[in-house]
Amino acid sequence: MNILILGGGGREHALAWAIRQNPKCDRLIVAPGNAGIAAIARCADLAITDGAAVAAFCDENAIDLVVIGPEAPLAAGVADALRETGISVFGPSRAAAMLEASKAFTKEICDAVGAPTAAWARFTDAAAARAHVARTGAPIVVKADGLAAGKGVTVAMTEAEAVAAIDAALGGAFGEAGASVVIEEFMQGEEASFFVLVDGETCLPVGTAQDHKRAGDGDTGPNTGGMGAYSPAPVMTDAIRAQVMDRIVRPTMAEMARRGTPFQGVLFAGLMIEGGEARLVEYNVRFGDPETQALMMRLGGQALDLIQACAEGRLAGMSVTWADDHAMTVVLAARGYPGDSAKGGVIGGLGGLPETSLQMMFHAGTAERDGAVVANGGRVLNATGRGATLAEARARAYALAEAVDWPDGFYRRDIGWRAL
């Protein structure tokens, strides 16, 4: 089977690494890929949000299956364009990707099926939004409705912060994505990520994880795309998983099918758990980054069988083979991240690192220049370890991080603290 993966971050390196291990994989191409991916797959230059361009590339390269990593091509309808030409694709249609592309859309679906989530209201008018905040008080959460590259959410501890967030979004800080805002009740509890494959009908959970969103140790500092993650998430007990499937995931998927827009791909439910009850924070319609790096470490080559069955509508006959294991990934970021960070710094120490089923250094934002690996993004490397316990996984992940010689980089020292 010839496979194309769209994307070029740590998530895609982890997907490529797992898929490569499956003997069904003949040729593997990743677009655009990165310096780490280039060691295990061909990297191709391709306009990945252009459905016609991706379809033409698949035709030229005899691609049998396309795995879409990030949300942008999904929201742009790339999966639709590929399905029209008969190519198997892992990732939802543009209509089903609305579960990530519009916060208000997801809230309406939750209300329609009675899925537990924070109370909410939607505004396009700043005065009305401010009046709502004055009525409800803080803490309160203000979100740009659309895709804002992870920057559209403000957890406001004061009314003034909420008002500033409203004015920024409706004032155009996020472009079209902020043309309307969703204002939500602030939820307390422990957050976790739950990943469920859906083939339009059948839902198959493929793992849980917890990530660390803040840049600094002790969960301090600015919000980021994620500074590290571990799997499984202890808070996602059997009972909570069953509850989330019954109350949130299955009803949402049934409602999407009923509306004529069935979901096919991986549904990523961001959850808030408190007192034995889980509520939905948000959906994403793709794998998480960096959660996937920990997940793929645990799934290995079977990931391809699961992804292929999902794309082909055959999940009903599938199951996941779990080892009783744990994995952790530690993000090495460029100094300054999530703000502006310098690109081009040379990263040493990568050459002799172990590359095994217990330890992998996934590349997130790297490029090759004159034979050297250089930083090419905010999140740059993902040191990933697996073990029989989380402590063992952590030791293996941090051993990799410490072996890297990169003066411009930093990483958190406390990934997994809550679980350990």
Q: Give the one entry of ligand GLY, ligand AMP, none that residue 291 binds, where binding means its C-beta sits below a cut-off of 5 to 8 angstroms depending on kind.
A: ligand GLY
Which residues between 156 and 195 bind ligand AMP (CB under 6 A)?
A: 184-187, 191
- By CB atoms closer than 10 A (0-12, 13-18, 19+), residue 376 is buried
How many whole angstroms separate alpha carbon 333 and alpha carbon 349?
A: 16
What 3-state class would DSSP assign to 110? helix
Q: 126-146: b or e for each residue (b if 16 or more CB lie within 10 Å)? A: eeebbebbeebebbbbbbbbb
CB 420 within 8 A of CB 212: no
**Inter-residue contact 346 to 365 (CB < 8 Å):** no
Residue choice 32, 251, 270, 349 for contact with ligand AMP (CB under 6 A): 270
Q: How far is the CB of 279 from ligand GLY (least distance, A)?
A: 18
Which residue of 118, 129, 182, 297 would you call a contact of ligand AMP, by CB under 6 A?
118
- 265 with 100: CB under 8 angstroms? no
Q: Write down the least CB distance from residue 87 to ligand GLY, Å.
A: 25
Q: Does 282 bind ligand GLY (CB under 6 A)?
A: no
Which partner in ligand AMP, ligand GLY, none is near 184 (CB below 5 to 8 A by kind)? ligand AMP
Size of the site for ligand GLY (CB under 6 A): 7
Nearer to ligand AMP (CB atom), residue 184 or residue 408 = 184
Which CB atom, from 88 or from 224, has the smaller least distance to ligand GLY? 224
CB 287 to ligand GLY: min, Å? 7
Which amino acid is located at 245 in the chain? M
Quote the CA–CA distance of 115 and 355 in Å, as a whole number: 42
Q: Is 352 exposed, middle or buried (0-12, 13-18, 19+ CB in 10 A)?
A: exposed
Residue among 269 and 373 whose Cβ is closer to ligand GLY:
269
Closest distance to ligand GLY from the beta carbon of 383 (Å) = 16
Q: State how far the Cα of 256 lies from the Cα of 96, in Å rounded to an integer.
A: 7
SS3 418: coil
Residue 350 makes contact with ligand AMP by CB under 6 A: no
Contacts with 237 (C-beta within 8 Å, 6 or more apart), sequence order? none
String marking each residue 50-69 x if it binds ligand AMP according to CB under 6 A: --------------------
Positions that interact with ligand AMP (CB under 6 A): 118, 141, 153, 155, 184-187, 191, 213, 270, 281-282
Positions that interact with ligand GLY (CB under 6 A): 211, 225-226, 284, 288-289, 291
